[in-house]
Structure 1
Amino acid sequence: MAALNLLAENPVLTLFVVLLLGFALGSVRVLGFSLGVAGVLFAGLLVSALDPRIALDPAVYELGLALFVFSIALASGGHFLGSLGRAGLIRNALVLALLTLGAGLTLLAGRLLGLDPALTAGLYTGALTSTPALAGVIEAVAGQPGAGDPVVTYSIAYPMGVIGVMLALFFFERRYRPDYPGEARTLGVSAEEPVTRTLRVQDPREPTVEAFARTHGERVVFGRLLHGGQLEPAEAGSVLRRGDLVSITGAPGDVAAVIAQLGEELPESLSSDRSVLDFRRIFVSSPRVAGRRLSELRVRERLGATVTRVRRGDRDIVPGGATVLELGDRVRVVAPRERMGEVTRFFGDSYRRLSEINLLTFSLGLVLGLALGTLPLPLPGGGTFRLGVAGGPLLVGLLLGALGRSGRIVWNIPYSANLTLRQLGLALFLAGVGLRSGGRFAAQLASAQGVYLLLAGTLITVVVVSLLLWTGYRLLRLPYSLLTGLAAGLGTQPAVLGYGTERTGNEVPELGYTSVYPVALIGKIFLAQLILLLAG
């Protein structure tokens, strides 16, 4: 056919045809489930099954993988450090133990089905939906004569690797009937956006703002203070005297609790008077601000300003002294009217700069990661393995993301740019690997062994996730909403995270997801390589 000849002779056109078909396929929802960006993989498999000549240079999917892994590691570095406390170590140990169990089940399934090492490792990466681990397997078996194609088993197991987790979450939710709002309150997470209220102080103790915050934690932010008819910023040393009016910002429940302790709520808003104090939403685009804690920036001392909210992505955060600002954040600032220009210049407020990436630091990080990926690392028994295009950038990205900045160098990139690079990189990788495996995938899927592979992948997924939910809820007494996020993190699967967030109605799943995501990602890359060695 002329169309197939055209695609075979024009790889760039082929790439975008696959992306077009893939995103169209990924947007189709069936029973609340959609493939999302993974639709690109199945579009690539379909197109290449029509004509084996249609393919892309391997450099395309290697580039895509490096961009995807490095970008997501930069964003996860800070969360990775935060997961190293006692509670985080317990969660990560549980996830690693279950991933290891999944590797053992996969090895057993591989022996029963007579799979070669590459197909066995591909089954593991599909059942636990790990694209970077698949990439490591592809790289490890490249050039080996007679090696099976891990993309085939990955593709067969992948859909149930997502759907199976959602079904397990639904089943255990019906069984345990968790109190999602109560769990959120216990963990100090609110499903609601922060609010600003006006309080009339009635507390006879007349505490300072700093003393009250020390006693009750940084749950709310004090903005404006009206005392004796004069409006001024509520600073750390400001005394909250009886009859004063003060504006407070925080989660609705926290704001109500503070009002109950200090006085009574008034319907009027202190923000309506902007003659003395003004407020503005400002983009964080200045490199000297990004990667620093609010306490380091000393905004009140320098500028007489108060940061009352930080908007990151689609949600507002009530800031505290330990809050680290990132490029792309929008801060809501209350400041003296005459100093608002100075405050704006301090934070940057340049939307154009947020659309740009510092290619010098980004490229330096990728060079370090890719170079690390080429180094042979020793294994017990005398063998070696390489982190490859996936593992090297992942480890370096986690380190640089945790650092945030080194002197004047800011390693992190703007939130919106990170999401764009992440999606582009993953789409390029999935298109590349899909276009190399279509014929073998179609033949395997139509065989009896294809049905056995689908059942084996589903069994691995359901057993691992069910044990996670039962052990976490019954033995470790973890909130079910947190376990929902752990299940998504174990599978490194954003689709499951979205499902869990929708079911719980709060952000608790995100806490679980980010606390185990980096360890799960690294663990699956390593275990997939181990399966290659043990299945041989």
Structure 2
Amino acid sequence: MEWINDLIFGSGVAHAIFVLALVISSGILLGKIKVFGVSLGITWILFVGIFLGHLGLGIDEHILHFIKEFGLILFIYSIGMQVGPSFFSSFKQGGITLNLLASSVVLLGVITTYVIHVVTGLPISTMVGILSGAVTNTPGLGAAQQTYYEVTGSQDPSIPMGYAVAYPLGVVGIILSLILFRTIFRINFAKENEAISNRDASKMTEAQMFSLQVLNPAIFGKTIHEIKNLTDKEFVISRLLQHDSGTLTVPLPDTLLNENDKILVVSNLQNIELIEALIGQKIDMDREAWNKLDSLLVSRRINVTKSGINGKSVGQLRLRNLFGVNITRVNRAGVDLVADPRLQLQLGDRVTVVGSEASIANVEKFLGNSLKRLREPNLISIFIGIALGVLVGSIPFMFPGIPQPVKLGLAGGPLIVAILVSKFGPKYGLVTYTTMSANLMLREVGIALFLACVGLGAGEGFVETVVNGGYRWIAYGAVITVVPLLIVGIVGRKVYKLNFFTLMGLIAGSMTDPPALSYANGIAGNDFPAVSYATVYPLTMFLRVISAQLMILLFL
């Protein structure tokens, strides 16, 4: 039975894989346990690793370091790919206010952490670990550890210890803050729902279908191309019912509109009144009524799966001229967008095409429409991005007042490159599409490996550290969690008059905390917390990673 002893307590590769698999699987099982509807989720992997590390179960130091860093890169890069497409658009419209408030939460957390560091004399590295746990941000923990190692050439076990001690109350503290705000502001959910029903910005920008009768004499006899040049509003005329002949057609840019013609228009809700004023009167005629007029015309959603289409605009494809069909909408990540000629298509988009059966069959071949193609992972873009991320993260930057050169590291570099690649890659023909399940798998594997390694590395002295004063870290973490949320929450509600549902999503997003979002969605009964969470999440995640690194570099 010596082989069992070698497998469990040895030092080889098989031993390392066995221990990691044991830690991860046990942590995931424990993560399914909920107390008062709240679970620590995948963070249980960290606690299991600490427990087994305390019992003396460890793996080779070099193997541990490599797997931890590689897991961190996979996790960070996957997050960047997920948030990249919405990173820059999150600053538009009301997103600027939400992102400023979320950034304030990050900044106040950093200031509170530094004040506690000055008052208590705790090392800044320990305080950064407590900060990462208090705000439930694992990438910040990874960035701090990696930066500390680059600066000193050694590991500081107090960083993951501080994270582990502060994390549980961090999760609970965020949810308690939401409950406290509900009491302080005397929230009435019925009034909150009524207040947002008339200003749902996400609905206003989604593609909608409506019918018009051509009644404006100024456009009689003009082509669709000429009419669209009269306004800067985006709209697509999907079908045309000619008044004189009763013929139903898919209009082309040079198709003429005449008096009393009826058209089916696709545009944003916010544009309807202006388009109605330009063309004519809105009529009660839905899509089903149009479908009954002519069975030869069909509407179908087609998946863009050919890499040659990636990054090309709707206008560049010239589908109307080539196939006599009309693209009316583009569904991307569950949201319908108006098929404006300037809109660039990406692999994985689903376009709604109107035309004859034969024409649509040709368009399917042109665009690909192969689900099998979408399921194939684009590994080349992933590993090119990781290589560029490591390269960028290794570039040293010198700043006045900082003795050590500043590097983005294995956390910051891949994060920035992933955001840029996922946003701008399609424009230059780089296929960056991965299915949501593939991205989630890569992300979860990365974070699981990282947390397991962090726990095993910190387990040896964890109990001793907590007993010898580490229990105070729990209180420090609670202060770091609650103080920024109270300040920004009150400002957001009283000064910026944020809806409570939006405020809940803002708070959860500023802490990058899924359990808090789950709680907010549950009591709200709508998707407004999720919308504001998604709005602030990209920038917040970026700031959490960078601020953790800067605190180590500036104050170590």
Residue 402 of structure 1 aligns to a residue whose secondary structure is: helix
Q: Distance in 1 between matches of 2:215 and 2:490?
A: 50
**Greater Cα offset, 324-333 or 265-274:** 265-274
**Match of residue 43 from structure 1:** 48
Q: Distance in 2 between matches of 1:352 and 1:267?
A: 31
State the aligned residue count.
Answer: 531
Q: 1:182 to 1:101 in 2, by over 3 A?
A: same
**Match of residue 514 from structure 2:** 494
Q: 1:454 to 1:213 in 2, by over 3 A?
A: farther
Written as runs of structure 1 = structure 2, the 5 A alignment for 1:63-462 is 63-85=70-92, 88-142=95-149, 147-174=156-183, 175=185, 176-177=187-188, 179-180=192-193, 182-183=195-196, 185-190=198-203, 199=211, 201=212, 204-205=215-216, 217-218=233-234, 223-227=238-242, 228-233=245-250, 262-265=282-285, 268-271=288-291, 275-313=295-333, 315-321=334-340, 323-383=343-403, 384-405=405-426, 407-445=428-466, 447=467, 449-462=469-482
8 Å CA contact 1:117–1:533 kept in 2: the answer is no
Q: 1:467 to 1:50 in 2, by over 3 A?
A: same
| TM-score normalized by the length of structure 2 | 0.81
- In structure 2, give the amino acid aligned to 1:230: T
Q: Distance in 1 between matches of 2:343 and 2:503?
A: 25
Q: Does 1:483 align with 2:503?
A: yes
The match for 1:23 among 17, 25, 28 is 28
8 Å CA contact 1:191–1:506 kept in 2: the answer is no
Residue 281 of structure 1 aligns to a residue whose secondary structure is: strand
Q: 1:240 to 1:289 in 2, by over 3 A?
A: same
- In structure 2, give the amino acid aligned to 1:340: I
Q: Does 1:522 align with 2:542?
A: yes
Q: 1:195 to 1:144 in 2, by over 3 A?
A: same
Structure 1 unaligned segments of length 5 or more: list them.
none
- In structure 1, give the amino acid aligned to 2:192: D
Cα offset, 1:406, TM superposition: 5.1
**Greater Cα offset, 392-401 or 408-417:** 408-417
8 Å CA contact 1:8–1:14 kept in 2: the answer is no
**Match of residue 59 from structure 1:** 66
Cα offset, 1:498, TM superposition: 3.9
Residue 353 of structure 2 aligns to a residue whose secondary structure is: strand
8 Å CA contact 1:125–1:134 kept in 2: the answer is yes
Cα offset, 1:287, TM superposition: 1.7
Q: 1:57 to 1:482 in 2, by over 3 A?
A: same
Deviations 1:146-167 (A, max 9, x none): 8442111111222332332223
**Match of residue 464 from structure 1:** 484
Aligned-residue Cα RMSD (Å) equals: 3.9
Q: Distance in 2 between matches of 1:297 and 1:516?
A: 34
Q: 1:106 to 1:251 in 2, by over 3 A?
A: same
Q: Distance in 2 between matches of 1:272 and 1:32?
A: 50
Residue 376 of structure 1 aligns to a residue whose secondary structure is: coil
Q: Distance in 2 between matches of 1:299 and 1:41?
A: 53
Give me the identity figure in percent.
31
Cα offset, 1:262, TM superposition: 0.6
Deviations 1:405-442 (A, max 9, x none): 35333345444432332222222222222222234344
Q: Distance in 2 between matches of 1:103 and 1:70?
A: 24
8 Å CA contact 2:51–2:459 kept in 1: the answer is yes
Residue 262 of structure 1 aligns to a residue whose secondary structure is: strand
Residue 353 of structure 1 aligns to a residue whose secondary structure is: helix
Q: 1:150 to 1:484 in 2, by over 3 A?
A: same
Q: 1:213 to 1:132 in 2, by over 3 A?
A: farther
- In structure 1, give the amino acid aligned to 2:320: R
Cα offset, 1:369, TM superposition: 0.9
Q: 1:267 to 1:64 in 2, by over 3 A?
A: closer
Residue 410 of structure 1 aligns to a residue whose secondary structure is: coil
Q: Distance in 1 between matches of 2:230 and 2:462?
A: 61
| TM-score normalized by the length of structure 1 | 0.84
Q: Distance in 2 between matches of 1:159 and 1:237?
A: 64
Q: 1:146 to 1:77 in 2, by over 3 A?
A: closer
Deviations 1:255-288 (A, max 9, x none): 9999995112469444467842223332222222
Cα offset, 1:13, TM superposition: 2.3
